[in-house]
Amino acid sequence: MNYSFQFGDVFAAWPLLVKGTLSTIELSLLAMLLGLMLAIVCAWGKTAGPRPLRWVINAYIELIRNTPFLVQLFFFFFALPALGLRWSAYAAALVAMVVNLGAYATEIIRAGIESIPKGQIEAGLALNLKRHEIFRFVILKPALRTVYPALTSQFILLMLSSAVVSAISADDLTSV
């Protein structure tokens, strides 16, 4: 068998492929950063927040984790503009990715927070640290170190799911 690979069309579209790759990386990194911040806030609310806040966070997590990403993307891109919220395709994709990652990463970070021994928290209280200092230095930092592999896997899945939003046109990418 003789194969004759012809990459002429690929090389002709090279600038467009590079632009798409860079925009995918940019979208994924921004979604990872914002999604991680959302997840940390939700994980704190789920572990230490008041009961009504826990119910809201649990409802958010269950709703997002039990619907496919494509349905969420369609909701943000088609349903919300029908209700009057107009935004670009890039913004809709970013919000959908942040909301999706936030729900999954919340559970990962919550597991890390609950893995911290109670003695560590009591030691922070004995050192007269404020509650936000205990959360930041005593709980969150070791918890993130513990769940780093699971978060990395979730970030990889997020980047792979960004292929779903690859239909965004180049005009939409520049009009954020």
CA distances for 83 relative to 80, 87, 138, angstroms = 5, 12, 44
108 within domain boundaries = yes
117 domain residue, yes or no:
yes
CA nearest neighbour of 27 among 87, 84, 124, 95: 95
Quick one: pLDDT at residue 160?
86
CATH of the domain at 143: 1.10.3720.10
Q: What is the DSSP letter of 127?
A: T
pTM metric for this prediction = 0.85
Domains: count for the chain: 1
Instruction: Determine, yes or no, domain membership for 1.
Output: no
| CB of 172 closer than 8 Å to CB of 89 | yes
Range(s) of the domain holding residue 33: 8-174
Identify the band that residue 86 occupies on the pLDDT scale cut at 50, 70 and 90.
confident
What is the average pLDDT score of the chain? 89
The answer to whether residue 121 sits within a structural domain is: yes
Confidence of residue 35 (pLDDT cuts 50, 70, 90): very high
Q: In sequence order, which residues have a C-beta less than 8 Å from that of residue 147 and are 6 or more positions away?
A: 108, 109, 111, 112
pLDDT, position 176? 43
136 inside domain: yes
Domain membership of residue 3 (yes or no) is no
DSSP annotation of 166 reads T
Residue 134 CB partners (closer than 8 Å, separation 6+)? 121, 124, 125
Residue 2 covered by a domain: no
Does pLDDT of 118 surpass 90? yes
Domain assignment present for 100: yes
pLDDT above 90 (res 22): no
